[in-house]
């Protein structure tokens, strides 16, 4: 039988285009990535159709986690206004009659997030900043309308930022319960503050609805 000679083909493929694409994608991701800041409290925010991008300016951030615990922090306060944090903690200490040392007040400025009742504020501020993130916190009591401690925090913050623009950001978890949110709103209302920003993730307007049609007309 005559044997048919198959031409021998190399099994080597040229990888160069493949590598090119891989590094192109890699460089895209390196440039597009903004690292998530370390979050001491994990919160999954709900989606909304709102398309206003969150402004990074003076803001008091009120966080509600999935167990409906309330925290405050001032992470987005500009560096120029960092000294105002000292005014806030001074005010809280004076108005609530808590004797805080200077070291504890200094500690407050670097605290990642704060969710303790006034009764245990002092002991919480004794913990070094680096370990505060890992310390479980009971949350600021808000549900008791007679002892809504958030009112005091907001009052002191408002005082410290008097005459300046201050945003009230509310970052709630999907599964947190409504009464907590209501209590937070009530605390703000007690301080004569009626405008808030709820932090949400973006989603598109559902097709066929009025908002969808409005946006379509705007983009034309």
Quick one: 28 or 82, whose CB is closer to other proteins?
A: 28
**Site for other proteins (CB under 8 A): which residue of 67, 83, 110, 211?**
211
Give the interface segment with other proteins, choosing from 1-9, 105-113, 123-131, 196-204 (CB under 8 A).
196-204
- Residue placing its CB nearer to other proteins in the complex, 101 or 209: 209
Looking up tokens 């206003």 gives 52
- Half-sphere CA count of 6, side-chain side, radius 13 A: 3
176: closest CA among 142, 206, 134, 135?
142
Q: Is 32 in the site for other proteins (CB under 8 A)?
A: yes
175 is a contact residue toward other proteins (CB under 8 A)? yes
- What distance in Å separates the CA atoms of residue 47 and residue 142, rounded to the nearest whole number? 25
Interaction of residue 179 with other proteins, rule CB under 8 A: yes
Q: Give the sign of the dihedral formed by CA 155, CA 158, CA 160, CA 163.
A: negative
Three-state DSSP state, 168: strand
The CA distance from 98 to 122, in Å, is 8
CA-based nearest residue to 200, from 3, 69, 44, 28: 44
Helix, strand or coil, per DSSP, at residue 77: coil
Binding mask 46-85 for other proteins (x = CB under 8 A): xxxxxxxxxx--------x---------------------
Q: Residue 72 has which token pair?
A: 């405050």
Near other proteins by CB under 8 A: residue from 192, 217, 218, 220:
192
Among 158, 153, 111, 102, residue whose Cα is nearest residue 134: 111
* Choice from 119, 162, 201, 216 touching other proteins (CB under 8 A): 201
Among 9, 42, 165, 195, binds other proteins (CB under 8 A): 195
Per CB under 8 A, the segment of 74-82, 109-117, 132-140, 180-188 that binds other proteins is 180-188
Residues that bind other proteins (CB under 8 A): 12, 14-16, 18-19, 22-23, 25-26, 29-30, 32-36, 45-55, 64, 169-170, 172-182, 185, 188-189, 192, 194-202, 205-206, 209-212, 214
């Amino acid at each position: 039988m005559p044997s048919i000679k198959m031409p021998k083909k190399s099994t080597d493929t040229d990888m160069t285009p493949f590598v090119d694409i891989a590094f192109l994608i890699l460089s895209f991701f390196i440039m597009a990535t903004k690292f998530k800041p370390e979050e001491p409290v994990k919160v999954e925010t709900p989606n909304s159709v709102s398309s206003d991008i969150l402004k990074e300016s003076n803001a008091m951030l009120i966080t509600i986690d999935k167990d409906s615990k309330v925290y405050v922090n001032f992470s987005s306060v500009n560096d120029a206004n960092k000294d105002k944090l000292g005014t806030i903690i001074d005010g809280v200490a004076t108005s609530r009659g808590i004797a805080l040392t200077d070291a504890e007040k200094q500690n407050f400025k670097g605290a990642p997030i704060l969710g303790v009742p006034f009764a245990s504020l002092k002991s919480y501020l004794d913990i070094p900043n680096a370990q505060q993130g890992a310390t479980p916190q009971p949350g600021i009591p808000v549900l008791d309308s007679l002892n809504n401690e958030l009112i005091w925090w907001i009052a002191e913050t408002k005082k410290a930022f008097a005459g300046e623009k201050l945003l009230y950001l509310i970052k709630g978890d999907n599964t947190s319960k409504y009464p907590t949110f209501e209590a937070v709103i009530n605390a703000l209302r007690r301080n004569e503050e009626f405008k808030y920003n709820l932090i949400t993730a973006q989603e598109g307007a559902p097709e066929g609805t009025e908002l969808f049609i409005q946006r379509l007309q705007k983009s034309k």
